[in-house]
Amino acid sequence: MKLCVVPCGSMKIWHKNPDAGPTKAKDVYIGLFARTCIEYAEKFYPNNYVILSAKYGFLSPDELIPEDYNVTFNDPKTNPIGVEELRKQVEEKGLMKYDEIVVVAGSNYVNIAKRVFAGKKILTPLKGLGGMGPMISAMKKAIRDGKEL
């Protein structure tokens, strides 16, 4: 059984609609890359995906995020969630039951997933595609064609 992990993003619903209030994780991240990753996960792993948030860790698509935040794995000063805390979440949320972890994200998220899911098979369908533009194009094509990367 496969679990798909997708990234969060810096552009959030509150940037467009400041009065949005608490919002489901799948609807929070509105940047093109994060949005496309979520669409890909919903197409190919509709009941088996999580969003990896730098603040909250592994979020189910329907989990509520209360408000805007600005935390990134790229800047330690923002105090992102650590690998040990993520490992605890994986146990608590029953994510270790998956045999394979499909990381539909950039290399930073892949590296985190490899550390958190040590010993699991990690699949990286976006690896080698270059920057965000080619990754978005590949995912959009896969969604359109109905063929996983």
pLDDT at 114: 97
pLDDT at 6 over 90: yes
Q: Are 93 and 114 in contact (CB under 8 A)?
A: no
CA distance 149 to 124: 9
Give Cα 84 to chain centroid, integer Å.
Answer: 18
Give 140's contacts (C-beta < 8 A, 6+ positions apart).
Answer: 36
Q: Are 33 and 136 in contact (CB under 8 A)?
A: yes
Q: What is the mean pLDDT of the chain?
A: 97
pLDDT at 132: 93
Per-residue pLDDT of 49-103, as tens digits, reads: 999 999 999 999 999 999 999 999 999 999 999 999 999 999 999 999 999 999 9
pLDDT at 130: 87
Instruction: For residue 44, give the CATH number of its domain.
Output: 3.40.50
Question: In this structure, what token pair is assigned to residue 101?
Answer: 């972890």
How many structural domains are present in the chain? 1
CA-closest candidate to residue 141, choices 133, 132, 130, 149: 149
pLDDT at 69: 96
Mean pLDDT of 34-47: 98
Q: Which domain holds residue 61?
A: 2-145
Mean pLDDT of 2-25: 97
